Structure 1
Amino acid sequence: MTHPAIAAGHTAVITGAASGLGLAAARALAAHGMAVAMIDLPGPRLEAAAASLPGAVAIPLDVSDAPGVAAAAATVAAGMPPVTFLFNNAGLSLPSSALADRAAWDRTLGVNFGGILGVAQAFVPAMLAHGLPGAVINTGSKQGITLPPGNPAYNVSKAAVKAYSELLAHELRSLPGSRVTAHLMIPGWVHTAMTAAEGTAKPAGAWTPDEAVAFMLARLAAGDFYILCPDNDVTRPLDERRIAWMAGDLIENRPALSRWHADWAEAFKRSIADL
Protein backbone atom coordinates (compact mmCIF):
# COMPACT_ATOMS: atom_id res chain seq x y z
CA MET A 1 0.00 0.00 0.00
CA THR A 2 1.23 3.50 -0.84
CA HIS A 3 0.00 6.99 -0.08
CA PRO A 4 -2.19 8.27 -2.97
CA ALA A 5 0.25 11.15 -3.52
CA ILE A 6 2.72 8.59 -4.88
CA ALA A 7 1.36 8.13 -8.38
CA ALA A 8 2.96 7.41 -11.75
CA GLY A 9 2.86 10.37 -14.09
CA HIS A 10 3.00 12.95 -11.29
CA THR A 11 6.01 14.84 -9.92
CA ALA A 12 7.90 14.51 -6.66
CA VAL A 13 9.95 17.51 -5.56
CA ILE A 14 12.86 16.61 -3.29
CA THR A 15 15.32 18.99 -1.66
CA GLY A 16 18.69 17.75 -0.48
CA ALA A 17 18.26 15.25 -3.30
CA ALA A 18 21.87 14.63 -4.30
CA SER A 19 22.70 12.26 -1.45
CA GLY A 20 21.46 10.62 1.74
CA LEU A 21 17.74 10.53 2.47
CA GLY A 22 16.94 12.77 -0.48
CA LEU A 23 18.62 10.53 -3.04
CA ALA A 24 17.10 7.41 -1.48
CA ALA A 25 13.65 9.01 -1.72
CA ALA A 26 14.28 10.02 -5.32
CA ARG A 27 15.17 6.42 -6.20
CA ALA A 28 12.08 5.07 -4.44
CA LEU A 29 9.67 7.54 -6.05
CA ALA A 30 11.19 7.16 -9.51
CA ALA A 31 10.63 3.41 -9.12
CA HIS A 32 6.92 4.21 -8.68
CA GLY A 33 6.93 6.00 -12.04
CA MET A 34 7.08 9.55 -10.73
CA ALA A 35 9.01 12.34 -12.36
CA VAL A 36 11.46 13.75 -9.83
CA ALA A 37 12.61 17.34 -9.46
CA MET A 38 15.90 16.99 -7.58
CA ILE A 39 16.92 20.18 -5.77
CA ASP A 40 20.36 20.53 -4.21
CA LEU A 41 23.46 22.68 -4.33
CA PRO A 42 25.00 22.88 -7.81
CA GLY A 43 27.77 20.46 -8.63
CA PRO A 44 28.67 17.08 -10.10
CA ARG A 45 27.01 15.14 -7.27
CA LEU A 46 23.58 16.54 -8.15
CA GLU A 47 24.15 16.08 -11.87
CA ALA A 48 25.20 12.46 -11.42
CA ALA A 49 22.27 11.71 -9.12
CA ALA A 50 19.72 13.08 -11.60
CA ALA A 51 21.40 11.34 -14.54
CA SER A 52 21.07 8.01 -12.73
CA LEU A 53 17.26 8.13 -12.55
CA PRO A 54 14.63 8.05 -15.29
CA GLY A 55 12.41 11.09 -15.33
CA ALA A 56 14.65 13.09 -12.98
CA VAL A 57 15.51 16.76 -13.46
CA ALA A 58 18.38 18.43 -11.61
CA ILE A 59 17.60 21.87 -10.20
CA PRO A 60 20.77 23.43 -8.76
CA LEU A 61 19.67 25.67 -5.92
CA ASP A 62 20.42 26.80 -2.39
CA VAL A 63 17.06 26.46 -0.63
CA SER A 64 17.78 29.55 1.49
CA ASP A 65 17.61 31.62 -1.75
CA ALA A 66 13.94 32.65 -1.74
CA PRO A 67 13.85 34.15 -5.27
CA GLY A 68 15.62 31.06 -6.57
CA VAL A 69 13.07 28.78 -4.90
CA ALA A 70 10.21 30.77 -6.43
CA ALA A 71 11.82 30.52 -9.87
CA ALA A 72 12.29 26.76 -9.42
CA ALA A 73 8.62 26.32 -8.52
CA ALA A 74 7.62 28.22 -11.67
CA THR A 75 9.96 26.07 -13.79
CA VAL A 76 8.57 22.84 -12.38
CA ALA A 77 4.98 24.01 -12.84
CA ALA A 78 5.64 24.94 -16.47
CA GLY A 79 7.65 21.93 -17.55
CA MET A 80 6.76 18.91 -15.40
CA PRO A 81 3.61 16.96 -14.47
CA PRO A 82 1.63 18.17 -11.43
CA VAL A 83 3.48 18.02 -8.13
CA THR A 84 1.82 15.68 -5.66
CA PHE A 85 4.76 14.84 -3.38
CA LEU A 86 7.11 17.30 -1.65
CA PHE A 87 10.00 15.97 0.43
CA ASN A 88 11.38 19.06 2.16
CA ASN A 89 14.63 17.51 3.25
CA ALA A 90 17.61 19.83 2.67
CA GLY A 91 19.63 20.56 5.80
CA LEU A 92 23.05 21.13 7.24
CA SER A 93 24.84 21.08 10.58
CA LEU A 94 27.48 23.60 11.60
CA PRO A 95 29.24 23.89 14.97
CA SER A 96 27.55 26.49 17.16
CA SER A 97 27.32 27.94 20.64
CA ALA A 98 24.36 29.55 22.38
CA LEU A 99 26.37 32.75 22.93
CA ALA A 100 28.53 32.87 19.80
CA ASP A 101 28.87 31.80 16.17
CA ARG A 102 26.19 34.13 14.78
CA ALA A 103 27.16 33.29 11.20
CA ALA A 104 26.58 29.60 11.91
CA TRP A 105 23.18 30.42 13.42
CA ASP A 106 22.14 32.50 10.42
CA ARG A 107 23.24 29.87 7.91
CA THR A 108 21.75 26.94 9.85
CA LEU A 109 18.39 28.60 10.41
CA GLY A 110 18.34 29.94 6.86
CA VAL A 111 18.69 26.48 5.35
CA ASN A 112 17.13 24.15 7.91
CA PHE A 113 14.07 26.24 8.68
CA GLY A 114 13.99 29.05 6.13
CA GLY A 115 14.49 26.57 3.31
CA ILE A 116 11.62 24.38 4.46
CA LEU A 117 9.34 27.39 4.90
CA GLY A 118 10.25 28.90 1.53
CA VAL A 119 9.95 25.64 -0.42
CA ALA A 120 6.58 24.83 1.17
CA GLN A 121 5.23 28.30 0.42
CA ALA A 122 6.48 28.09 -3.17
CA PHE A 123 5.16 24.61 -4.04
CA VAL A 124 2.17 23.80 -1.82
CA PRO A 125 -0.29 26.38 -3.24
CA ALA A 126 -0.09 24.69 -6.66
CA MET A 127 -0.55 21.30 -4.99
CA LEU A 128 -3.75 22.58 -3.42
CA ALA A 129 -4.95 24.21 -6.62
CA HIS A 130 -4.80 21.12 -8.84
CA GLY A 131 -6.90 19.15 -6.35
CA LEU A 132 -5.01 15.85 -6.54
CA PRO A 133 -4.03 13.96 -3.37
CA GLY A 134 -0.73 15.35 -2.13
CA ALA A 135 1.78 14.92 0.68
CA VAL A 136 4.37 17.26 2.18
CA ILE A 137 7.05 15.65 4.34
CA ASN A 138 9.40 17.94 6.27
CA THR A 139 12.58 16.43 7.68
CA GLY A 140 13.00 17.26 11.35
CA SER A 141 15.25 15.62 13.92
CA LYS A 142 15.07 13.99 17.32
CA GLN A 143 17.49 16.74 18.33
CA GLY A 144 14.71 19.24 17.68
CA ILE A 145 12.56 17.44 20.27
CA THR A 146 14.94 16.35 23.06
CA LEU A 147 17.51 19.17 22.51
CA PRO A 148 20.74 17.39 23.49
CA PRO A 149 23.48 19.90 24.37
CA GLY A 150 26.25 20.49 21.88
CA ASN A 151 24.81 22.14 18.77
CA PRO A 152 22.12 24.65 19.72
CA ALA A 153 21.71 26.22 16.26
CA TYR A 154 20.88 22.86 14.69
CA ASN A 155 18.54 21.92 17.54
CA VAL A 156 16.66 25.23 17.36
CA SER A 157 16.31 24.96 13.58
CA LYS A 158 14.83 21.47 13.85
CA ALA A 159 12.55 22.49 16.73
CA ALA A 160 11.22 25.18 14.41
CA VAL A 161 10.64 22.58 11.69
CA LYS A 162 8.63 20.46 14.14
CA ALA A 163 6.44 23.40 15.19
CA TYR A 164 5.94 24.58 11.61
CA SER A 165 5.03 21.10 10.39
CA GLU A 166 2.43 20.70 13.13
CA LEU A 167 0.88 24.06 12.28
CA LEU A 168 1.03 23.33 8.55
CA ALA A 169 -0.72 19.99 9.04
CA HIS A 170 -3.52 21.68 10.95
CA GLU A 171 -3.87 24.44 8.38
CA LEU A 172 -4.01 22.02 5.45
CA ARG A 173 -6.62 19.79 7.04
CA SER A 174 -8.71 22.84 7.89
CA LEU A 175 -8.82 24.17 4.31
CA PRO A 176 -12.09 23.30 2.53
CA GLY A 177 -11.43 20.79 -0.23
CA SER A 178 -7.79 20.23 0.67
CA ARG A 179 -6.41 16.83 -0.30
CA VAL A 180 -2.84 17.66 0.77
CA THR A 181 -1.47 16.35 4.06
CA ALA A 182 1.67 17.34 5.95
CA HIS A 183 3.99 15.02 7.89
CA LEU A 184 7.14 15.24 10.01
CA MET A 185 9.99 12.86 9.22
CA ILE A 186 12.06 12.25 12.36
CA PRO A 187 15.06 10.13 11.33
CA GLY A 188 17.00 7.91 13.66
CA TRP A 189 20.72 7.36 13.16
CA VAL A 190 21.12 7.25 9.38
CA HIS A 191 24.49 6.81 7.69
CA THR A 192 24.76 9.90 5.49
CA ALA A 193 27.33 12.53 4.59
CA MET A 194 25.97 14.68 7.43
CA THR A 195 26.45 12.01 10.10
CA ALA A 196 29.72 10.42 8.93
CA ALA A 197 32.79 11.26 6.91
CA GLU A 198 32.40 10.31 3.27
CA GLY A 199 33.78 6.88 2.50
CA THR A 200 33.54 5.53 6.05
CA ALA A 201 31.82 2.22 6.65
CA LYS A 202 28.29 2.23 8.02
CA PRO A 203 28.28 1.56 11.78
CA ALA A 204 26.21 -1.42 12.89
CA GLY A 205 23.85 0.85 14.83
CA ALA A 206 22.92 3.05 11.88
CA TRP A 207 20.31 2.53 9.19
CA THR A 208 21.00 3.11 5.53
CA PRO A 209 19.13 5.94 3.80
CA ASP A 210 17.15 3.34 1.84
CA GLU A 211 15.99 1.69 5.08
CA ALA A 212 14.90 5.04 6.54
CA VAL A 213 13.01 6.02 3.38
CA ALA A 214 11.26 2.62 3.21
CA PHE A 215 10.11 3.15 6.80
CA MET A 216 9.01 6.70 5.99
CA LEU A 217 6.90 5.63 3.02
CA ALA A 218 5.33 2.78 4.96
CA ARG A 219 4.33 5.06 7.83
CA LEU A 220 3.12 7.70 5.38
CA ALA A 221 0.83 5.09 3.83
CA ALA A 222 -0.42 4.23 7.33
CA GLY A 223 -1.37 7.88 7.89
CA ASP A 224 1.24 8.86 10.49
CA PHE A 225 1.99 12.53 11.01
CA TYR A 226 4.98 11.86 13.28
CA ILE A 227 7.21 9.46 11.36
CA LEU A 228 9.47 8.55 14.27
CA CYS A 229 12.21 6.29 12.94
CA PRO A 230 14.12 3.82 15.09
CA ASP A 231 17.50 2.45 14.04
CA ASN A 232 19.66 -0.53 14.96
CA ASP A 233 20.83 1.19 18.14
CA VAL A 234 17.77 3.03 19.49
CA THR A 235 14.33 1.42 19.74
CA ARG A 236 11.01 3.24 19.65
CA PRO A 237 10.40 2.58 23.38
CA LEU A 238 13.70 4.31 24.21
CA ASP A 239 12.78 7.26 21.98
CA GLU A 240 9.41 7.48 23.73
CA ARG A 241 11.02 7.57 27.19
CA ARG A 242 13.44 10.29 26.10
CA ILE A 243 10.64 12.40 24.63
CA ALA A 244 8.43 11.88 27.70
CA TRP A 245 11.28 12.86 30.01
CA MET A 246 11.79 16.07 28.03
CA ALA A 247 8.10 16.96 28.39
CA GLY A 248 8.36 16.11 32.09
CA ASP A 249 10.92 18.86 32.62
CA LEU A 250 8.17 21.40 31.99
CA ILE A 251 5.36 19.52 33.72
CA GLU A 252 7.40 18.77 36.85
CA ASN A 253 9.34 22.07 36.83
CA ARG A 254 12.71 20.35 36.69
CA PRO A 255 15.84 22.19 35.51
CA ALA A 256 16.06 22.70 31.77
CA LEU A 257 17.53 19.66 30.00
CA SER A 258 17.51 17.75 33.26
CA ARG A 259 18.53 14.57 31.47
CA TRP A 260 22.03 16.06 31.34
CA HIS A 261 21.87 17.88 34.72
CA ALA A 262 24.19 16.59 37.46
CA ASP A 263 21.31 16.35 39.96
CA TRP A 264 18.94 14.51 37.60
CA ALA A 265 21.04 12.39 35.24
CA GLU A 266 20.85 9.30 37.45
CA ALA A 267 17.08 9.62 37.77
CA PHE A 268 16.80 9.60 33.99
CA LYS A 269 19.00 6.51 33.75
CA ARG A 270 16.76 4.75 36.24
CA SER A 271 13.72 5.70 34.17
CA ILE A 272 15.00 3.68 31.21
CA ALA A 273 16.69 0.87 33.13
CA ASP A 274 13.98 -1.66 32.27
CA LEU A 275 14.37 -1.22 28.50
Structure 2
Amino acid sequence: MDLGITGKTAFVAASTSGLGLAVARALAADGVRVAITGRRREISEQIAESLPGAVAIGVDLGAPDAVASAVDQAEERLGPIDIAVLNGPGPRPSTAAALTSEDLANSFDRLVRPQHDLVSRVLPEMRQRRWGRILAVGASGIVAPLPNLASSNAGRAALAGYLKTLAAEVARDAVTVNLLLPGRIATDRVAELDAETAKRRGISVDEVQQESRESIPAGRYGTPEEFGAAAAFLCSASASYITGVALRCDGGLVRSL
Protein backbone atom coordinates (compact mmCIF):
# COMPACT_ATOMS: atom_id res chain seq x y z
CA MET A 1 0.00 0.00 0.00
CA ASP A 2 1.38 3.39 -1.00
CA LEU A 3 0.96 5.65 2.02
CA GLY A 4 1.47 8.77 -0.05
CA ILE A 5 4.07 10.34 2.22
CA THR A 6 7.26 9.83 0.23
CA GLY A 7 9.28 13.04 0.42
CA LYS A 8 7.46 14.35 3.50
CA THR A 9 9.44 15.50 6.54
CA ALA A 10 8.90 14.17 10.06
CA PHE A 11 10.11 15.31 13.45
CA VAL A 12 9.98 12.32 15.81
CA ALA A 13 10.52 13.20 19.46
CA ALA A 14 12.56 10.82 21.63
CA SER A 15 13.35 8.55 18.70
CA THR A 16 16.61 6.90 19.74
CA SER A 17 14.91 3.90 21.36
CA GLY A 18 11.63 2.13 22.00
CA LEU A 19 8.43 3.21 20.31
CA GLY A 20 9.85 6.49 19.02
CA LEU A 21 12.56 4.62 17.16
CA ALA A 22 10.01 2.15 15.81
CA VAL A 23 7.92 5.02 14.40
CA ALA A 24 10.97 6.73 12.91
CA ARG A 25 12.03 3.53 11.15
CA ALA A 26 8.56 2.89 9.78
CA LEU A 27 8.28 6.42 8.40
CA ALA A 28 11.75 6.26 6.85
CA ALA A 29 10.83 2.96 5.19
CA ASP A 30 7.96 4.79 3.48
CA GLY A 31 10.23 7.50 2.08
CA VAL A 32 9.85 10.13 4.81
CA ARG A 33 12.85 12.29 5.74
CA VAL A 34 13.10 11.93 9.51
CA ALA A 35 14.71 14.05 12.21
CA ILE A 36 15.99 11.60 14.85
CA THR A 37 16.04 13.29 18.25
CA GLY A 38 17.37 12.26 21.64
CA ARG A 39 19.55 13.34 24.51
CA ARG A 40 22.34 11.00 23.41
CA ARG A 41 23.61 12.68 20.27
CA GLU A 42 25.97 9.85 19.36
CA ILE A 43 23.07 7.39 19.37
CA SER A 44 20.98 9.79 17.28
CA GLU A 45 23.77 9.99 14.73
CA GLN A 46 24.18 6.22 14.54
CA ILE A 47 20.47 5.75 13.90
CA ALA A 48 20.29 8.58 11.36
CA GLU A 49 23.17 7.07 9.42
CA SER A 50 21.19 3.82 9.09
CA LEU A 51 18.07 5.49 7.67
CA PRO A 52 17.82 7.10 4.23
CA GLY A 53 17.38 10.86 4.35
CA ALA A 54 17.47 11.05 8.16
CA VAL A 55 19.33 13.60 10.27
CA ALA A 56 20.35 13.52 13.92
CA ILE A 57 19.55 16.20 16.48
CA GLY A 58 20.94 15.78 19.97
CA VAL A 59 18.50 17.48 22.31
CA ASP A 60 16.75 17.17 25.65
CA LEU A 61 13.27 18.26 24.64
CA GLY A 62 12.35 18.82 28.27
CA ALA A 63 14.83 21.70 28.59
CA PRO A 64 13.59 25.30 28.25
CA ASP A 65 13.45 26.49 24.62
CA ALA A 66 14.83 23.13 23.44
CA VAL A 67 11.88 22.30 21.20
CA ALA A 68 12.07 25.50 19.17
CA SER A 69 15.81 25.11 18.68
CA ALA A 70 15.48 21.45 17.64
CA VAL A 71 12.70 22.17 15.15
CA ASP A 72 14.73 25.05 13.68
CA GLN A 73 17.65 22.66 13.15
CA ALA A 74 15.42 20.04 11.57
CA GLU A 75 13.77 22.51 9.19
CA GLU A 76 17.12 24.01 8.21
CA ARG A 77 18.35 20.55 7.18
CA LEU A 78 15.17 18.88 5.94
CA GLY A 79 12.59 21.55 5.20
CA PRO A 80 9.21 22.33 6.79
CA ILE A 81 7.82 19.71 9.17
CA ASP A 82 4.85 17.80 7.74
CA ILE A 83 4.61 15.13 10.45
CA ALA A 84 5.16 15.69 14.17
CA VAL A 85 5.33 12.65 16.42
CA LEU A 86 4.92 13.51 20.09
CA ASN A 87 6.77 11.14 22.36
CA GLY A 88 8.82 11.10 25.53
CA PRO A 89 9.74 9.16 28.65
CA GLY A 90 7.07 8.60 31.25
CA PRO A 91 7.31 9.56 34.93
CA ARG A 92 8.23 7.09 37.63
CA PRO A 93 5.67 4.52 38.83
CA SER A 94 3.52 5.61 41.76
CA THR A 95 0.20 4.88 43.40
CA ALA A 96 -2.42 7.62 43.36
CA ALA A 97 -2.41 7.83 47.16
CA ALA A 98 1.33 8.50 47.19
CA LEU A 99 1.32 11.22 44.52
CA THR A 100 2.77 14.55 45.55
CA SER A 101 2.34 17.99 44.00
CA GLU A 102 5.90 17.66 42.74
CA ASP A 103 5.02 14.37 41.03
CA LEU A 104 2.10 15.99 39.24
CA ALA A 105 4.22 18.95 38.14
CA ASN A 106 6.86 16.55 36.85
CA SER A 107 4.21 14.60 34.95
CA PHE A 108 3.02 17.78 33.25
CA ASP A 109 6.59 18.82 32.43
CA ARG A 110 7.32 15.44 30.84
CA LEU A 111 4.06 14.58 29.14
CA VAL A 112 2.33 17.85 28.26
CA ARG A 113 4.61 20.90 28.08
CA PRO A 114 7.18 19.66 25.52
CA GLN A 115 4.44 18.15 23.36
CA HIS A 116 2.51 21.43 23.43
CA ASP A 117 5.69 23.32 22.55
CA LEU A 118 6.25 21.06 19.53
CA VAL A 119 2.68 21.39 18.29
CA SER A 120 2.76 25.17 18.74
CA ARG A 121 5.96 25.41 16.72
CA VAL A 122 4.92 23.30 13.70
CA LEU A 123 1.16 23.79 13.52
CA PRO A 124 0.94 27.28 11.94
CA GLU A 125 2.88 26.23 8.82
CA MET A 126 0.94 22.96 8.56
CA ARG A 127 -2.29 24.94 8.50
CA GLN A 128 -0.93 27.34 5.90
CA ARG A 129 0.16 24.45 3.64
CA ARG A 130 -3.12 22.61 4.33
CA TRP A 131 -1.40 19.34 5.13
CA GLY A 132 -0.14 18.04 8.42
CA ARG A 133 -0.05 15.08 10.74
CA ILE A 134 0.27 15.29 14.51
CA LEU A 135 0.51 11.91 16.22
CA ALA A 136 1.08 11.33 19.90
CA VAL A 137 2.49 8.12 21.31
CA GLY A 138 0.14 7.73 24.24
CA ALA A 139 -0.73 4.92 26.64
CA SER A 140 -3.74 2.72 27.25
CA GLY A 141 -3.95 4.41 30.67
CA ILE A 142 -6.02 7.19 29.12
CA VAL A 143 -8.74 4.60 28.42
CA ALA A 144 -8.28 2.32 31.44
CA PRO A 145 -5.93 3.82 34.06
CA LEU A 146 -3.03 1.51 34.80
CA PRO A 147 -2.24 0.37 38.36
CA ASN A 148 0.80 2.01 39.99
CA LEU A 149 1.16 4.51 37.13
CA ALA A 150 -0.95 7.31 38.57
CA SER A 151 1.40 10.09 37.49
CA SER A 152 1.53 8.78 33.92
CA ASN A 153 -2.24 8.28 33.83
CA ALA A 154 -2.79 11.91 34.87
CA GLY A 155 -0.30 13.48 32.47
CA ARG A 156 -1.28 11.42 29.45
CA ALA A 157 -4.97 12.07 30.04
CA ALA A 158 -4.26 15.82 30.10
CA LEU A 159 -2.38 15.55 26.80
CA ALA A 160 -5.20 13.51 25.26
CA GLY A 161 -7.77 16.13 26.26
CA TYR A 162 -5.71 18.90 24.68
CA LEU A 163 -5.15 16.96 21.45
CA LYS A 164 -8.78 15.91 21.10
CA THR A 165 -9.81 19.55 21.41
CA LEU A 166 -7.16 20.61 18.91
CA ALA A 167 -8.21 17.98 16.37
CA ALA A 168 -11.61 19.62 15.88
CA GLU A 169 -10.07 23.06 15.58
CA VAL A 170 -7.66 22.22 12.75
CA ALA A 171 -9.53 19.54 10.79
CA ARG A 172 -10.71 22.00 8.13
CA ASP A 173 -7.07 22.87 7.48
CA ALA A 174 -6.35 19.23 6.52
CA VAL A 175 -4.27 18.67 9.65
CA THR A 176 -5.05 15.46 11.53
CA VAL A 177 -4.39 14.96 15.23
CA ASN A 178 -4.42 11.45 16.66
CA LEU A 179 -3.05 9.29 19.44
CA LEU A 180 -1.69 5.77 19.15
CA LEU A 181 -1.93 3.83 22.39
CA PRO A 182 0.44 0.91 22.97
CA GLY A 183 -0.44 -2.04 25.10
CA ARG A 184 2.27 -4.45 26.13
CA ILE A 185 4.87 -3.77 23.44
CA ALA A 186 8.26 -5.45 23.89
CA THR A 187 10.40 -2.37 24.59
CA ASP A 188 12.97 -1.55 27.24
CA ARG A 189 10.39 0.65 28.99
CA VAL A 190 7.95 -2.24 29.35
CA ALA A 191 10.78 -4.46 30.58
CA GLU A 192 11.52 -1.86 33.27
CA LEU A 193 7.88 -1.77 34.31
CA ASP A 194 7.74 -5.56 34.45
CA ALA A 195 10.82 -5.56 36.67
CA GLU A 196 9.26 -2.91 38.93
CA THR A 197 6.07 -4.97 39.22
CA ALA A 198 8.04 -8.12 40.02
CA LYS A 199 9.96 -6.31 42.76
CA ARG A 200 6.83 -4.76 44.25
CA ARG A 201 4.96 -8.07 44.31
CA GLY A 202 7.88 -10.28 45.28
CA ILE A 203 7.66 -12.55 42.25
CA SER A 204 9.89 -13.20 39.25
CA VAL A 205 9.87 -11.15 36.04
CA ASP A 206 9.00 -14.34 34.14
CA GLU A 207 5.87 -14.71 36.26
CA VAL A 208 4.88 -11.10 35.62
CA GLN A 209 5.35 -11.54 31.87
CA GLN A 210 3.39 -14.78 31.83
CA GLU A 211 0.51 -13.12 33.66
CA SER A 212 0.62 -10.29 31.13
CA ARG A 213 0.54 -12.66 28.18
CA GLU A 214 -2.44 -14.46 29.68
CA SER A 215 -4.31 -11.16 30.01
CA ILE A 216 -3.82 -10.27 26.33
CA PRO A 217 -6.27 -11.91 23.91
CA ALA A 218 -3.50 -12.12 21.29
CA GLY A 219 -1.47 -14.12 23.84
CA ARG A 220 1.77 -12.21 23.40
CA TYR A 221 3.49 -8.86 23.67
CA GLY A 222 3.40 -6.73 20.54
CA THR A 223 6.51 -5.87 18.56
CA PRO A 224 7.85 -2.36 17.99
CA GLU A 225 7.56 -2.98 14.25
CA GLU A 226 3.81 -3.58 14.56
CA PHE A 227 3.41 -0.34 16.47
CA GLY A 228 5.54 1.55 13.95
CA ALA A 229 3.43 0.29 11.05
CA ALA A 230 0.22 1.52 12.71
CA ALA A 231 1.83 4.89 13.35
CA ALA A 232 2.97 5.24 9.74
CA PHE A 233 -0.58 4.60 8.54
CA LEU A 234 -2.02 7.30 10.82
CA CYS A 235 0.57 9.70 9.41
CA SER A 236 -0.25 8.77 5.83
CA ALA A 237 -2.21 10.48 3.09
CA SER A 238 -4.57 7.49 3.17
CA ALA A 239 -5.59 8.38 6.75
CA SER A 240 -6.65 11.92 5.88
CA TYR A 241 -10.21 11.37 7.20
CA ILE A 242 -9.08 9.95 10.55
CA THR A 243 -8.66 12.59 13.23
CA GLY A 244 -9.37 13.02 16.93
CA VAL A 245 -8.92 9.29 17.42
CA ALA A 246 -7.10 7.34 20.14
CA LEU A 247 -6.27 4.06 18.40
CA ARG A 248 -5.13 1.14 20.54
CA CYS A 249 -2.36 -1.15 19.36
CA ASP A 250 -2.64 -3.63 22.19
CA GLY A 251 -3.63 -7.11 20.97
CA GLY A 252 -7.09 -6.65 22.48
CA LEU A 253 -5.78 -5.97 26.01
CA VAL A 254 -8.27 -3.21 26.83
CA ARG A 255 -11.70 -4.81 26.60
CA SER A 256 -13.75 -1.70 25.84
CA LEU A 257 -14.59 -0.66 22.26
Into which bin does the TM-score normalised by the smaller protein fall? Answer: 0.7 to 0.9
Could you say which structure has the greater relative contact order, defined with CA pairs below 8 angstroms and 6 or more residues apart? Answer: 2
Identity, in percent, stands at 28
SS of the residue corresponding to residue 146 of structure 1 reads coil
Amino acid at match of 1:69: V
RMSD, aligned CA: 2.6
Deviations 1:191-239 (A, max 9, x none): 11211149x999762111111121233355344332423434x356x23
For 1:235 and 1:154, the matched residues in 2 are separated by: 18
Deviations 1:84-103 (A, max 9, x none): 11111223231234444444
SS of the residue corresponding to residue 224 of structure 1 reads coil
How big is the shift at 1:185? 1.2
For 1:188 and 1:156, the matched residues in 2 are separated by: 17
Distance 1:3 1:110, change over 3 A: farther
For 1:209 and 1:195, the matched residues in 2 are separated by: 11
Which of 242, 246, 256 is matched with 1:224 structurally? 242
Number of the residue aligned with 1:37: 35
Distance 1:41 1:101, change over 3 A: farther
For 2:28 and 2:246, the matched residues in 1 are separated by: 21
Does 2:164 match 1:166?
Answer: yes
Number of the residue aligned with 1:113: 112
For 2:142 and 2:136, the matched residues in 1 are separated by: 13
Distance 1:181 1:3, change over 3 A: farther
Number of the residue aligned with 1:137: 135
Deviations 1:68-98 (A, max 9, x none): 1111222222332222111112232312344
Amino acid at match of 1:128: R
**Structure whose CA Rg is larger:** 1
Further displaced range: 78-87 or 202-211? 202-211
TM-score where L is the length of structure 1: 0.74
Aligned residues: 231
SS of the residue corresponding to residue 229 of structure 1 reads strand
Number of the residue aligned with 2:73: 75
Runs of 4+ in structure 1 off by over 6 angstroms are 200-203
TM-score where L is the length of structure 2: 0.79
